[in-house]
Amino acid sequence: MIRRIDPIGRIAYGALCISGMSGLAVPLLLVAGPITGLVYAIDGAGLKGLTVALLAVAFAALAAGLFFGIFFAAWPLASDWITEWPGYATGFAIGGGGLALMALLVFVGPLPLYAAVIAPLAATFAVGFGIAGRLAGLSAPAAQPRVRARALRRR
């Protein structure tokens, strides 16, 4: 039973949450970019639509590269519990929350673009770092009822 996660494992899990964030961004960019480009093209701004679609595909390729690069760099440093499904599911859930926060800050928030990108990355890493070791099945074992010595003698 894991009682404590070392700092390297925590750092690796924070990085894996960022990897999950970029992994979730790939299909979103590959779907939303061309659809947005098509909408611009229908409205008569064909060059702008083509630019949006191509940039979305380029950013999806960048996000895929980040996903695989960070994943294969951080995965060997993570603790053994990451190979179980709660570790993967929680990492992608934290990454999805970070991606939603990034979209909110980029499109609606008052922050400049560089801060709207850096802040969700830092928040995703911090949550992943903090939650490592507290996932399902990693807490202390459940208390077993103790059998008294007197009860054993009566049997």
- For residue range 57-87, what is the model confidence (pLDDT) as tens digits? 999 999 999 999 999 999 888 876 666 777 8
Residue 120 placed within a domain = yes
Please tell me the distance from the alpha carbon of residue 119 to that of residue 101, in angstroms, as a whole number: 9
Residue 85 placed within a domain = yes
Residue 130 placed within a domain = yes
Q: Are 78 and 12 in contact (CB under 8 A)?
A: yes
Residue 147 placed within a domain = no
Domain that holds residue 69: 8-135
Nearest to 34 by CA among 53, 8, 16: 53
Residue 67 placed within a domain = yes
Residue 112 placed within a domain = yes
Residue 41 placed within a domain = yes
Total length of the chain: 155
Residue 2 placed within a domain = no
- Our count of domains for the chain comes to 1
Say if residue 103 is exposed, middle or buried (CB neighbours under 10 Å; 0-12, 13-18, 19+).
Answer: middle
Say if residue 125 is exposed, middle or buried (CB neighbours under 10 Å; 0-12, 13-18, 19+).
Answer: buried
Please tell me the distance from the alpha carbon of residue 136 to that of residue 102, in angstroms, as a whole number: 27
Helix (H, G, I), strand (E, B) or coil at 108: coil
- In this predicted structure, what is the pLDDT of residue 69? 96
**CA dihedral sign, ordered 76, 81, 85, 90:** negative
Please tell me the distance from the alpha carbon of residue 24 to that of residue 93, in angstroms, as a whole number: 10
Regions of the chain with pLDDT less than 70: 1-4, 80-83, 135-155
Q: Following CA atoms 34, 39, 41, 43 in sequence, which dihedral angle do they give, to the nearest 10 degrees?
A: -170
- In this predicted structure, what is the pLDDT of residue 142? 47
